[in-house]
Amino acid sequence: MNALSKRHRLLVTTVVAAGVALVAVAGSLAAPGSAAKQAAKDTLVVLTPHIAPALDPDGVGANDPGQWLIGRNAADRLVKYTTTTTDGINNPNYAVGQDAFTGQLVKSYKRAGTVFTFNLKQGVTSCAGNELTAEDVVYTFARAKSVSGASPVAWFLGNVASVLPLDPLISKDPKAKELKGEVTAVDKYTVKITQMNANGLFPRTSEIFALEIFDSVEMKKHATAKDPWAHSWNDQTGIAAYGPYCVSKWIKGSEIDLTANPNYNWGPKPQFSKVILRQVPSNSSRIAALKGGSADIAQDLSPTELNSLKSSSNVTVYGTYNNQSTWMHLNYKYAPWNLPNNKYLRQAIAYAIPYDEIISGVYKDEARRWYGHAPSTYYGFSPIKRYDTNMAKAKAMLIKAGFPGGKGLEKYASGLHLVYPAENSAVLEPFANQIRTSLATIGVNVTLDPIPLGQFQDRHLAKKDIPMGIIDFGAPFAPDTGYAQQLFYASVDKGGLTNSENYSNPKFDALVDQSKKTAGATRLAILKKAALIQMDELPTIPVVEFKSRLAVRKGISGWTLTSDNTLVFSDFKSTN
């Protein structure tokens, strides 16, 4: 996720730590002795290809999964989703209504029209030793409305839920960035939040990472005249919030250690008092450590690798559908994707994609067709089964686009570079090759162009200059179709946030705006109309939804799915 930084402009700088080898790989990844086994009872070792380069949810690393992971475990939210457990996986109820969320930092809450009153849990204490009060909630929303960070995602979450206005971005008056009664402290443990109009996205958006509640007392200690909201300290040094874990060690590009918050008493006590998060870029090294017993969790393995681990006697592979998907990005700013008949060219590509071959060959049948522009698990999703692999239709659409048999497309070779993150080449390279081979049969010749993840994210989210690409990250974190439509596809000057395709359609924007002011069946009908426009114009081409999968040491259970696909360490349990 990325966010607006100045008036009508996006600025996200995603930093990927690379080239740092894990110290003493040969020794630390070997089979453990008795001491390691003993330590494993209260220490969770997690190996990942990438750790957080920054920690501020409104900072330069706002789009970084590593940042989301630390925030998920060190900074609780007002509310959370209820879960049901099936086969060792805690599945969230994304369809929960406005009045039925489970409190995380709140004991209870009630809604009267557009006014929410939250009663905070008492005795909640941060890692710094400060007690949670209503002033912390006010501070968190005031920081959001200040739009002072490099990537003010928090303001967007408040705005899309009709809590914070658009004024901070469009007004030149500094006072427009100050709270004006939207969020107020009633007493020490009671806070009132008022929406501008009825909008079903609140309190749903308060569960997302950027509206985690800050410890305002500690944050203010690190504020300066030039940085009154302590973005620099939060980004590069630490996190001041209320969660079950505290950041105890941070070696940039190598390791982050979390230690259980000694003051934590507002939820079940974590079994693991320490979590060691190590950056190990090599998939094979992460697999060897997991199979050898010196790691408890290995993240981001390929479908082939995960399938091979199923036969390992000391590894469990979990998997279920959550909200992860892969799609093609086609940029309206660059030829041939911006030509007068570009809709037909986009449709030609959609008809030429070998969906079934990708599902079986690339994802090893751990994926399914995706028939929309929001995850199918989300509220308001309507499947639109318009495109299947049909070469005759693909060729017909090419003719309508003005490129019969692909003739004439050679003039736009620079726009036919299929860009994707090199770090995920185990999956995306065969994916890209399947597409290249299939498109060549209708006369569309593309060049594969893998680039480093950091460069890809900067170009895709900040510069928005990738003409054609493959994306398999960045699920919308509020499980709601309307939220996904505004986040990814609404025009920036209409409150859109990402819109990396430079897509703009006044009818679509109007429908998205209407959806934020309605509820129930009326809202569902509006979301469907907007989805039909998307499927006709194809700012992106949805390809597959793939399972969220996780490889863990045998005996580990309690994997809680989240909308940001991060791990909840306090929920993990071990029987050995």
Q: Is the peptide bond before 203 cis (omega within 30 degrees of 0)?
A: yes
pLDDT category, 2, cuts 50, 70, 90?
very low
pTM to 2 decimals? 0.83
CA angle 49, 51, 53 (to 5 degrees): 135
Q: Are residues 512 and 559 in the same domain?
A: no
515 against 245, higher pLDDT: 245
Q: Are residues 255 and 393 in the same domain?
A: no
Q: What's the structural domain count of the chain?
A: 2
**Predicted pLDDT at 335:** 97
- Token representation of residue 317: 């592979």
Amino acid 163 reads: V
Q: Are residues 523 and 561 in the same domain?
A: no
For the cut 90, the answer to whether the pLDDT of residue 327 exceeds it is yes
Q: Are residues 181 and 149 in the same domain?
A: yes
283 domain residue, yes or no: no
Q: Are residues 442 and 474 in the same domain?
A: yes
Q: Are residues 559 and 502 in the same domain?
A: no
- Separation between Cα atoms, residue 205 and residue 223, nearest integer Å: 26
Q: Any idea what the CATH number is for the domain that residue 339 is in?
A: 3.10.105.10
- Separation between Cα atoms, residue 490 and residue 503, nearest integer Å: 7
**Predicted pLDDT at 473:** 83
Contacts of residue 461, defined as CB under 8 A and 6 or more positions apart, other chains included, come to 2, 10, 12, 14, 63, 498, 500
- Token representation of residue 454: 């950091």
**Predicted pLDDT at 496:** 76
Eight-state DSSP code of residue 127: T
**Predicted pLDDT at 109:** 98
- Separation between Cα atoms, residue 406 and residue 402, nearest integer Å: 9
| % of the chain residues with pLDDT over 70 | 93
**Are 552 and 296 contacting, i.e. CB atoms less than 8 angstroms apart?**
yes
For the cut 50, the answer to whether the pLDDT of residue 69 exceeds it is yes
> Of 33-37, 183-187, 333-337, which range is least confident?
33-37
For the cut 80, the answer to whether the pLDDT of residue 566 exceeds it is yes
**Predicted pLDDT at 63:** 79
- Separation between Cα atoms, residue 446 and residue 337, nearest integer Å: 13
Q: Any idea what the CATH number is for the domain that residue 19 is in?
A: 3.40.190.10
Eight-state DSSP code of residue 458: I
286 domain residue, yes or no: no
Q: Is the peptide bond before 262 cis (omega within 30 degrees of 0)?
A: no
Nearest to residue 242, comparing CAs of 220, 270, 263, 268?
263
Nearest to residue 326, comparing CAs of 268, 272, 370?
370
Q: Are residues 15 and 131 in the same domain?
A: yes
Q: Are residues 140 and 55 in the same domain?
A: yes
Q: Are residues 530 and 561 in the same domain?
A: no
**Are 311 and 47 contacting, i.e. CB atoms less than 8 angstroms apart?**
no
62 domain residue, yes or no: yes
Q: Are residues 339 and 479 in the same domain?
A: yes
- Separation between Cα atoms, residue 339 and residue 334, nearest integer Å: 8
For the cut 50, the answer to whether the pLDDT of residue 4 exceeds it is no
138 domain residue, yes or no: yes
For the cut 60, the answer to whether the pLDDT of residue 323 exceeds it is yes
516 against 173, higher pLDDT: 173
pLDDT tens string 212-238: 999 999 999 999 999 999 999 999 999
pLDDT category, 156, cuts 50, 70, 90?
confident
- Token representation of residue 417: 């570079």
Q: Are residues 102 and 229 in the same domain?
A: yes
304 domain residue, yes or no: no
pLDDT tens string 433-460: 999 999 999 999 999 999 998 899 889 9
**Predicted pLDDT at 53:** 92
307 domain residue, yes or no: no
Question: Which of helix, strand or coil describes residue 74?
Answer: helix
- Separation between Cα atoms, residue 229 and residue 240, nearest integer Å: 12
> Which CA distances in Å does 85 have to 89, 103, 104, 559?
5, 19, 18, 9
**Predicted pLDDT at 516:** 84
302 domain residue, yes or no: no
Domain assignment of residue 27, given as a range:
4-275+550-574
- Summarize the confidence of residues 239-261 as an average pLDDT: 97
pLDDT tens string 382-425: 999 999 999 999 999 999 999 999 999 999 999 999 999 998 88
308 domain residue, yes or no: no
Q: Are residues 107 and 184 in the same domain?
A: yes
For the cut 70, the answer to whether the pLDDT of residue 34 exceeds it is no
